[in-house]
Structure 1
């Protein structure tokens, strides 16, 4: 019984290889290109394409004869996106990350009010702060906020930043300072602040991307600043990048290659 369950249907797996090749091509492609991408013989790819086109999972352009993904794939993709629970998926990784590193892990999403804390899992290190889920963080004076500012459109972030400055919740930054913050975050995909909001508290944050390459969430560590030595910074930055990439993949986002060096304080 167990053996039968493991066997599966090989033809379905091969068809998925062809569909994956169509997806990875990012454009309509020829039969020979699909064969190269999938590692299958052209004759075999053609046989599968006939069935995939009939089912609507693939399509062949009438004018060029090139192959692309079909309407059925688009319908499946839309429904899959509708069912994605970003916070739920990320939370599973956040708990594992907390248990493995023993450091407090946080998740932040964007709301109309700004960067909003949606999960805070305490670790083994006492923190000089009591955090309430649902709290709105400063946009530039927090690591998670800076990640949001770096990857979200300014049409969304600028009004929140100006409102926080007006209320005295953030100091005023020059355009040059803001540009440097964006460039620093994007160059490493990691943002670190020490004592920016609470004295003695450091936060390391990294972006999580969803479908369409847009920012979905921010994943981060919170720890006492005294614990953030250079070796710890490198290790936690690497752990964070790996976890962020795993969550991005689970959400259907485009996984980016990790930077050569991360975690520069």
Structure 2
């Protein structure tokens, strides 16, 4: 029985390893490429891919013979999203905000030292040809990530950087814990975060935190877009108010009473963006 259980576990792990080979950058793969990435033999990969194909986890292009992820993964992803209280509470609110701001709106939660995207909606001034759901991003180089970090202890911030997670994505990325602590103090004071070309050139965002019934910061919401469209010098206060109001609306939907907030969530009128 133990041997059978071990063999079954190994089969599951191998199947998951095969599925994990598919990425945004390499979304169509040959059997030989799957073998190279997993270290499994061709006969094993062929047998397992055939099973995954029958179950709809992968599909094969009839013309090229390449495999890509199939519809069963979409079904499971939808079930996972719909089971998230944060997603259910925020979906319509974020969609409405994208329409009002005409920019992209993102929703993400704190997971394993990273930002985990639950959904995004496009505004007419910030179109995307892909979904962010299921992707991860660094905490220290994103507006939403910094709002989540602002709720963490100084010990956590130092440990985050000690793990080597605070890498530079652009020259504007905050790579020192002392600089991050100063930025987080400013975020706590004014109730929202900005991010300007810290993760990618030419883009910026304004973000605010979301709290659950207990008052714990569990997620964040942001408005984002190209620098030319988000226009932080001219629109920062307007966008900050919109993001804060939307984040508070999600928090209320999760059971949080915003009147219990320990500090004002209204942005100060003369604040400069935090870089």
Same fold (TM over 0.5): yes
Residue in 1 aligned with 2:61? Answer: none
Report the Cα offset of residue 254 of structure 1.
Answer: 3.2
Q: Which moved more, 1:239-248 or 1:150-159?
A: 150-159
Corresponding residue of 2:62: none
Contact 1:210 1:253 in 2 (8 A): yes
CA–CA distance in 2 between the matches of 1:264 and 1:130? 32
What residue is the counterpart of 1:98 in the other structure? 98
Q: Which has the larger radius of gyration?
A: 1
Q: In 1, Cα distance between the equivalents of 2:142 and 2:216?
A: 20
Say whether the 8 Å CA contact 2:119–2:132 is kept in structure 1: no
1:88 aligns with 2:88: yes
Judged with a 3 Å threshold, the aligned counterparts in structure 2 of structure 1 residues 200 and 127 are, in CA distance, closer, same or farther, namely farther
Deviations along 1:64-104, whole A, 9 cap, x unmatched?
xxxxxxxxxxxxxxxxxxx9812111112111111222211
Q: Tell me the TM-score normalized by structure 1.
A: 0.60
More helix by share: 1
CA shift for structure 1 position 135: 2.0
Root mean square deviation, CA, Å: 2.8
Give the SS at the match of 1:107.
strand
Q: Contact 2:138–2:145 at 8 Å: present in 1 too?
A: yes
Q: CA deviation at 1:175?
A: 3.9
Among residues 205, 217, 237, which one is paired with 1:203 in the alignment?
A: 205
Aligned length: 183
SS of alignment partner, residue 244 of structure 2: helix
Number of the residue aligned with 1:182? 184
Q: Tell me, yes or no, if the aligned pair for 1:104 and 1:221 is still in contact at 8 Å.
A: yes
Identify if the C-alpha distance between structure 1 residues 195 and 247 changes in structure 2 by more than 3 Å, giving closer, same or farther.
Answer: same
Alignment correspondent of 2:125: 125
- Whether contact under 8 Å (1:209, 1:254) holds in the other structure is no
- 1:116-162 C-alpha deviation (Å, 9 max, x unpaired): 11111111114699663222212211111111110134565554443
**Which secondary structure does the structure 1 equivalent of 2:135 belong to?**
coil
State the partner residue of 2:245: 242
> Using the alignment, how far apart are the partners of 1:119 and 1:194 within structure 2?
21
CA distance in 2, matches of 1:164, 1:87: 30
Contact 2:102 2:126 in 1 (8 A): no
Structure-2-length-normalised TM-score:
0.58
